[in-house]
């Protein structure tokens, strides 16, 4: 036990090395730009130096703020409602046949808003955390926990990027890109003058030269990553779902959670545009349930259809009220949406029908 405990402690310490590296680079860039460039080299042009410093500090503050929120926002794990009851848990652990274990999971999951399945069509269950996985939830081996709407584990923030901090991560990339672009664009002219020996050969020369190279290098790498995640936001996919399409009861569907570009964006950034550029949590939903284009549940359970524009009075369908557990978990999955007694989810400019059909 002692060696494993020491090993885990060493891993935790080493995992902070990328964050420490970024922190050192950012602190050095602050010194190089403010002291060596603006204070030392731009002394004759006070007005230009002031303008540079104002814009620089604004981008620097937003970048650091978003980075801080991404690092220290704890990933959200499934609640106890997704844990197996004591009797079912004991029965599950005693069973050795996967088929029997799946029957136990199906029995418990029928009262939960869980509509995605494993590749073989089974209920997604984490043996490590001992919970039924909500939709879009995955186990992070680095954090050793299940994370709601997990996107990926990022070593540069030493944290798992998921439902609780995905907006912060996007803003971190955006402001890091703005920060690097501003530095590279304003330093370029001095970089050229130093390189062609048009300016005195002082100790500031090396800071300016390396400042341009570092800013340009990070700008290229961040641009590609930021562009990719903007594409994911527009498609309403996580990085995991981009590589492996989510599986519903009617099969894999890579666009299963896509609601159209505008609604996909609001799922991450919220419906208040004035807060989009600030690292405040404004994502819609609760991380457990998500609006989908079409979800068909297990035929042995009540069939749940989430489809924009569906007709609640369709032929051969019988609408029922959700039970307490489903109401609790589905009740706020789209921000301020509310579930009416007729099974229609009201909110915004569209309605989503939730109809429960019993198999004949």
The catalytic site residues sit at 154
Both structure tokens of 309: 């524009």
Note the helical H segments in the chain: 2-14, 17-31, 46-72, 86-94, 98-109, 166-195, 204-235, 239-243, 261-269, 324-330
Closest CA to 240 of 356, 132, 149: 149
Strand-strand pairing, 251-252 and 303-308: unpaired
Bridge partners of 126, per DSSP, are 131
Q: Rounded distance, CA 67 to CA 169, Å? A: 7
Q: Among all chains, which residue has been given the structure tokens 């990085």?
A: 239
Q: Among all chains, which residue has been given the structure tokens 């939830």?
A: 137
Q: Rounded distance, CA 37 to CA 221, Å? A: 24
Q: Rounded distance, CA 237 to CA 151, Å? A: 9
List Cβ neighbours of 339 (8 Å cut-off, separation of 6 or more): 322, 327, 330, 331, 345, 346, 354
**Do residues 113 and 329 make contact, with C-beta atoms less than 8 angstroms apart?**
yes
Name the region of 357 (left: φ>0; alpha: ψ -120 to 50; beta: rest): beta
Both structure tokens of 257: 């959670």
DSSP label at residue 242? H
317, with CB counted inside 10 A (0-12, 13-18, 19+), is middle
Both structure tokens of 243: 């590589």
Segment holding 146, helix H or strand E: strand 145-147
List Cβ neighbours of 94 (8 Å cut-off, separation of 6 or more): none
Both structure tokens of 69: 């929120």
């Amino acid at each position: 036990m002692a060696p494993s405990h020491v090993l885990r402690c060493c891993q935790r310490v080493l995992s902070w090395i990328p964050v420490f590296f970024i922190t050192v680079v950012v602190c050095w860039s602050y010194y190089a730009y403010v002291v060596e460039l603006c204070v030392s080299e731009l002394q004759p042009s006070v007005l230009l130096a002031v303008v540079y410093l104002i814009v620089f500090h604004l981008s620097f503050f937003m970048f650091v703020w978003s980075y801080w929120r991404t690092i220290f926002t704890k990933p959200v794990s499934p609640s106890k409602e997704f844990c197996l009851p004591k009797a079912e848990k004991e029965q599950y652990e005693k069973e050795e046949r996967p088929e029997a274990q799946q029957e136990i999971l199906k029995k418990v999951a029928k009262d939960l808003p869980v509509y995605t399945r494993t590749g073989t069509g089974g209920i997604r269950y984490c043996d490590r955390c001992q919970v039924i996985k909500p939709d879009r939830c995955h186990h992070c081996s680095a954090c050793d926990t299940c994370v709601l709407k997990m996107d990926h584990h990022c070593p540069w923030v030493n944290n798992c990027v998921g439902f609780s901090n995905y907006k912060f991560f996007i803003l971190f990339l955006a402001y890091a890109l703005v920060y690097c672009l501003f530095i590279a664009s304003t330093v370029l002219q001095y970089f050229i003058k130093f390189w062609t020996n048009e300016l005195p050969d002082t100790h500031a020369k090396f800071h300016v030269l390396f400042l341009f190279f570092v800013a340009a290098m990070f700008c290229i790498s961040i641009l590609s990553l930021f562009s990719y995640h903007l594409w994911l936001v527009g498609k309403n996919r996580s990085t995991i779902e981009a590589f492996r399409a989510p599986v519903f009861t009617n099969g894999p569907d890579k666009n299963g959670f896509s609601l159209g570009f505008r609604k996909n964006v609001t799922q991450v950034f919220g419906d208040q545009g004035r807060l989009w550029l600030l690292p405040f949590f404004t994502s819609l939903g609760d991380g457990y349930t998500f609006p989908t284009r079409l979800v068909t549940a297990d035929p042995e359970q009540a069939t749940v259809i989430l489809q924009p524009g569906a007709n609640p009075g369709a032929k051969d369908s019988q609408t029922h009220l959700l039970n307490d557990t489903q109401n609790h978990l589905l009740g706020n999955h789209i921000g301020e949406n509310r579930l009416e007694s007729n099974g229609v989810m009201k909110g915004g400019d569209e309605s989503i029908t939730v109809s429960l059909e019993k198999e004949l």
